[in-house]
Structure 1
């Protein structure tokens, strides 16, 4: 996230750039806070309420619940630190029990941000480094960009900006590669903060102006608050107080509109300081008191120190030296505590560095001792060899034995390598055999369908055309068989389509090309042809999808699923029966049902419907199938992150239901659809859609 530069005020002349301070009367805080942030709080509360409803309705302890908890923790971060800590801890616990690494990463990150609002930078650093180490094992570039940015921010706040720049520039490189403009703007802003800490205002302003340009293009008002705050700090460093006042006023407005309580506190302190320097003592008093009141909910001790420093400067400007002295004492005591904490951290790091260097020196000494021992051993070997000159024959035998042993070891190693190569080749051959066996099964299934299921309707068509061609049957009699022949040919075409899709899926796989589309529109495009098939059997076919349902899936796959389910329902529904398609929209998915009152599925065969056993029976008018439609439909639904199931009662009909994820961005101008069935003047029925 964006960070303004927070410089620890260790001495009185140091400029104050940061956060708020001091305890307050909570009865005064609550109405004042609501007055300041009412609009932003209302919008944020609506988001929080929506997430809370999702959490209440989702009772299962799974990764979806982890994501909702992390979203709640992030949304409460700027307004309710206690709630953010509660949701973050719950997300971390659940992620740990599920062994869900992404959930743990973002839970640690949310808890780190909570520690930042309290001024506990050491705890924030530890939590963020935990998240970064786990993210590095996953290799998620987006997460690595965010967490490197966070580590850089913490180093800036710890007043070690050179360390910060290492992580911030690494984060910027990742984000530039991903071309994420919003994230790039945040890191540019934070690099500016690091250069402010290094007291290089020109470099800081260069990066801040780049961040401002990007954020204005993106209309990122929340992010502009941080950037204008940093620009105000640069202007203060350069003693351009009127420019600093303008930047801090812009920052205060954006923080207020975003409902960012820590930001409102910071901007109030910044305005109080610059107004004091410009002589606007009443304005400074008003902003300083506002910061004091609001900071009580944050409990940030560093803000208290800054508050008393500005209070000292304001009282001095008023010539109220008694109050100024009291404020200075409060500031000094807190400054000493802060300095001692910083000193403790520096001592701790120095001790770690000393221990590391001490171990390195010990290692060097150990290596020297080892070299000395080796030299002594070499000398002893020379003496032994000299003394063993009389036993030369024995030594020669020993050498020969040693060489034979080495040769044996080399042969043994070579044999092992050969064995490994043979094992690898055997494994490759087995894998190739399995692939060939699978392709043989695909081939056998294709030839089986062609020989048993496709030849029959083609033979009937060939016979009728032969009779018509030889004028052994007149056109009037031929028309009697036209409807039945058309139905058989259409069923054969659907069978062929299913077979080709299945064969392609088995042999090389079919990639999912997901997109946002209207499932009602897809159904209406297939409906007229299916309606004709239904009329041929005198089956009533209708649907209740009267409005746009935007989903995110592969439209061709969902079209094939709808066609297979509706065609199956028509196939097993006798004359006079009914097939109805309905849809229900849930919070994140659409549930589509195809229901008929046909023959149903025998109980003993229901377990075979979605299995790998290709199961096919003839319809109520002896329509044939290849047994691939439902198996292919299940595969396509699950590839699009949905589920499919059925309920069937023999003699009473069946209902097949599948789900498909809803689009995250619903259609801007949703259309309503009405299906009108009317008699055609030349006979038959036509279907209109509007």
Structure 2
């Protein structure tokens, strides 16, 4: 079970009740009394009794995992005996949600949620179905399936909007905001929270207004907008005090403490840390307790109490390691690195620094993959909704067409009687022309929309790839500036920085060429030139990259082979294909370039001994959206996937063709043809 995200923003608020702590205790006691009364009357198989059992289990979800499991099992079993599907669904949801809170969620938990969705769908129970999709989205967020979580949240949101349920709509917008916050997209998260806040301001339930304000305050604190954060957090704390909501009050206190720690005010922060600690003692939400421990660690560190700070950091490191919480491990590792560095414990400092860097590097890579997955999810979901909308519009249009056509037939009969066969033929011809033009316009609109969406996605990916090496260099220089590493230690990072800058240069070159082709098209200046010499020049440019992986490159092109094409475009084709060969060939491999004459063309082949390409990817390799499927090389080399699109455009622009043959673990061979010299 993964849980690699900072969950101090509650994903669970959607399922909190709307009653105070005292009212909640009274409600539990009342439900328990009614359950006992039903048992005494031997009415255990009635739906009313099952609803009571499920309700009690739901009320206990934050405080007593074992009781929830027993009650949910009873509720499910009795519901099944009388075929009460709503009861089965609610029992499964209480059980699965409790498992998520207690970090006991497994694949069995997901099966329970899917069963609940099926039961709710069968009986058209929209309110239960909304809860089921939300719990499923929370589960998927906890296992880092952000693409699935986004889809499930939106499915629930559609149900809310359909039923005009503004309260549930507020919760769902907040949940979507939380999802983007987990992925590090704070701007998108704040946008969703502001949308939720606009709706929450008109709700009678002030508790939900406090929920949105506390989470929005957390994000403003995270983005160093301290004044906005302080206002929202103080307002949410007052709401939670008025509503007697201890779980959320503990969360708001902890967020306020983190705000004060960020402002270097530990004396004020300890007040809120202690308040949060007192509230959390009787709760089972272990992740929030772990975040509280991190807050205490930072507090003692700011007081320069290294001994206490190290003690808490080591406790947190062990706890987060046990829970496999990678972000928490990184946070505690960073603190332990700083403390050991101050004590000149070089061995321990290096150990925790490596832990911190390994996790942060891994998280950075995962962040890109998650962002791409979420981008795909947003695109796919929007496409599904657009398809549904188009189907609906098509049906309405078809109905209107039937009506118009029927009227036209009546009118046509009259015209036939009056004008005869000639006029009827003319009208039919005009209608045919109109339909053809309409179809042409619709196809043009679809093509333009697809091209715009593809370019937007492509530039989003490229911008991330260009920012990553720049940020890496910036952070390293900041470490030198702050004295965290010595200038001579900078040389240890020089090879990686060179590779990052080299990759960025290659990406920029491809991007500029592609942009030029999109705006003006490629302008050809074909000339005759020697192929072998051009390829030798490209090999020299990429030799350093090949040497780093001990890859040999052989040029077997005949010395007298000449072609007629644009030399600059030819160079870009060769360099992209060679660069891909180096990228996907393991250390110690080889790349061979040779050519064969074919009538009026020279067929050039670039063969590597790399990892190969799967048939599915081969089928889509040169399609317009193939750049969105770029992968990492054998040494984690980055790329945008733009190179192959450029190769295809330039080969075809010079009158040739390009294709590929590949087998997994045996390597790939790229073929392209260029006209022979005139």
Query: Does the TM-score normalized on the shorter chain lie above 0.5?
Result: no
Q: Rg: which structure is higher? A: 1
Q: TM-score range by the shorter chain?
A: 0.3 to 0.5
**What's the TM-score once normalised by structure 1's chain length?**
0.42
